[in-house]
Amino acid sequence: CRRLSTKGHAPQSVIGQDLVQVLGQSYPRDDFTNVTPKILEKVGRNLHNQSHHPLWLIKERIKAHFYSSYIGRSGNPLFSVHDNLSPVVTTEQNFDSLLIPPGHPSRKRGDNYYLNRTTMLRAHTSAHQRDLVRSGLDAFLLAGDVYRRDEIDASHYPVFHQMEGVRLFSNRQLFSRVQNGGELSLFERGGRRTPEKQETHTLEAVKLVEFDLKRTLTQLVSYLFGADLEIRWVDCYFPFTHPSFEMEVRFQGDWMEVLGCGVMEQELLNSAGAEDKLGWAFGLGLERLAMVLYSIPDIRLFWSQDERFLKQFRVQDIHQPICFQPLSKYPPLHNDISFWLPDGKESEAGRECFTENDFYELVRSIGGDLVEKVSLVDDFTHPKTGRRSQCYRIIYRHMERTLTQQEVRLVHQQIEQAAESELGVQGRF
Ligand code: FA5
Ligand code: MG
């Protein structure tokens, strides 16, 4: 049984023999359980609710923008804001409620943190869409921590934060600004699904909703970054929206994706009791926005307790511009690791054998935040034996001091040993 020190924040998280305890609740373990102590340490940290943390600051600025720009009929803010929903959700909420079919690749054990077969740490804030719509809300924002087993580099981290936005429109709300709008309708019978719209929607309704969505998001990023920021829209696919788009912004000479969005699938709205409305939804990455806005070079810095980092965000007024002085980076050290992969395709029924994410997870659970980046540098299959070998380069760097060769070597050796004993690979060390 591994107990975690939680430094006085969340109730203790424990991974026991039969139970996983998270935020004061117990969940029975099964063959799907794959959360690690390092990940559970992060549950309950709630960086987005920590006063003057950069993620809090960006959340507050987005709230302030929505509060002042969108006013309801009685003068109240149109969008309600939710930032305290538990990250522990059912797989039904995270996937089924969003029409993600059984067997869809996004459900893979290798990509998510499962407490057991039916409970997981949410992989996106969209997991709450249906429930909040069902509770009667027409316009809301929702901020929270999300968890994904993913690659490791400067802009990917297994825990990050998203802000979800949803807005629904009745016939009257959508067409009231249109001349003779009373003659138009949201829905049509016998329509076809096309790249532009869902079968039950009229093209005029969808175009207005899409226009409102893109305008809302363009105004949001202009408010955050100023009108000079270069953005572009890219068509994409989500099972819960159609049509769907991603917004990319120009960052350090490259295009970086900051959000996904689209017109909500009507089946989702119908299941939430909002069959007479059309809606849009978006989900944006708070770290990605903060990195662009404050020129934060590495996503691990958000977890830093370093005063030189945190004190820069303690402004009196959330609208005050931040002049972020990037901390000088300490030198990196890198070490390679090569091994033969285990033979065989499938182990137990439906469970993948070795996946790259298993290795990333293992590196993360041993190296923690010392690991800046892991990249696959070689992958070859022996022409005679058919055995496959991979080589990964691990870059180690501490955010707050210079690492020594010796301490890196110790961590690296632990990774080598654990790779052999836990992943069944054969080292070529
Ligand atoms: C989603 O998570 C969808 N739920 C978004 C959505 C909501 C679509 C509502 C339609 C309607 P995606 O996986 O692309 O989509 O993530 C959304 C954003 O989260 C990304 O654009 C990015 O800004 C951020 N993000 C994704 N993965 C990471 C990561 N590993 N580290 C940091 N930020 C990430
Ligand atoms: Mg995406």
Q: How many Å apart are CA 44 and CA 374, to the nearest integer?
A: 27
Neighbour tally for 187: CB within 10 Å: 16
pLDDT at 352: 54
The best mutation among 160, 286, 357 to test binding of ligand 1, ranked by most ligand atoms within 8 Å of the C-beta, falls on 160
Ligand 1 atom nearest residue 257's Cα: 21
Most informative mutation of 259, 268, 291 for ligand 1 (most atoms within 8 A of CB): 259
Query: pLDDT value at position 134?
Result: 98
How remote is the CA of residue 39 from the centroid of ligand 1, in Å? 19
Reported as a single tens digit per residue, the pLDDT across 323-377 is 777 666 788 999 999 999 998 654 444 445 788 989 998 998 899 889 988 999 9
Looking at ligand 1, which atom is closest to the CA of residue 264? 11
Give the integer Cα–Cα distance in Å for 429 and 417: 10
3-state secondary structure 319-361: CCCCCCCCCCCCCCEEEEEEEECCCCCECCCCCECCCHHHHHH
Euclidean distance between CA atoms 203 and 194, whole angstroms: 10
Distance separating alpha carbons of residues 210 and 234, to the nearest angstrom: 13
Rg value, the chain, Cα: 23
3-state secondary structure the chain: CEECCCCCCCCCCEECCCEEEECCEEEECCCCCCCCHHHHCCCCCCHHHCCCCHHHHHHHHHHHHHHHHCECCCCCECCEEECCCCCEEEHHHHCHHHCCCCCCHHHCHHHCCEEECCEEECCCHHHHHHHHHHCCCCEEEEEEEEECCCCCECCECCEEEEEEEEEEECHHHHHCCCCCHHHCCCECCCCCCECCECCCECHHHHHHHHHHHHHHHHHHHHHHHCCCCCEEEEEEEECCEEEEEEEEEEECCEEEEEEEEEEECHHHHHHCCCCCCEEEEEEEEHHHHHHHHHCCCCHHHHHCCCHHHHHHHCCCCCCCCCCCCCCCCCCCEEEEEEEECCCCCECCCCCECCCHHHHHHHHHHHHHHHEEEEEEEEEEECCCCCCEEEEEEEEECCCCCCCCHHHHHHHHHHHHHHHHHHHCCEECC
Q: Over its length of 429 residues, how does the chain's per-residue pLDDT go in tens digits? A: 344 444 444 456 888 889 999 999 999 999 999 999 989 999 999 999 999 999 999 999 999 999 999 998 888 999 999 999 999 999 999 999 999 999 999 999 999 999 999 999 999 999 999 999 999 999 999 999 999 998 878 778 999 999 999 999 999 999 998 888 888 999 999 999 999 999 999 999 999 999 999 999 999 999 998 888 899 999 999 999 999 999 999 877 889 899 999 999 999 999 999 999 999 999 999 999 998 888 888 888 899 887 878 888 998 899 888 877 766 678 899 999 999 999 865 444 444 578 898 999 899 889 988 998 899 999 999 999 999 999 999 999 987 889 999 999 999 999 999 999 999 999 998
Q: Which residues line ligand 1 (CB under 6 A)?
A: 124, 126, 148, 150, 156-157, 160, 162, 164, 238, 241, 257-262, 281-285, 287-288
Q: b or e along 262-275 (b: 16 or more beta carbons within 10 Å of the residue's beta carbon)? A: bbbbbebbebbebe
Q: Atom 19 in ligand 1: which residue has the minimum CA distance? A: 285
Residue 414: predicted pLDDT: 96
- Of 108, 161, 238, the residue with max ligand 1 atoms within 8 A of its CB, to mutate for a pocket test, comes to 238
d(CA 60, CA 78): 16
Cα separation of 96 and 251, whole Å? 35
| Contacts (Cβ under 8 Å, ≥6 apart) of 173 | none
Strand order in the sheet with 14-15: 2-3, 14-15, 19-22, 25-28
Q: Ligand 1, closest atom to CA 98?
A: 4
The answer to whether the CB of 108 falls within 8 A of the CB of 356 is no
Ligand 1, residue 247: give the atom nearest the CA: 21
* Ligand 1 atom nearest residue 283's Cα: 7
Interface predicted TM-score (ipTM) of this complex, two decimals: 0.99
Nearest CA to ligand 1 atom 10: 261
* Rounded Cα distance, 168 and 272, in Å: 12
In this prediction, residue 349 carries a pLDDT of 42
CB atoms within 10 A of CB 231: 16
Euclidean distance between CA atoms 183 and 376, whole angstroms: 59
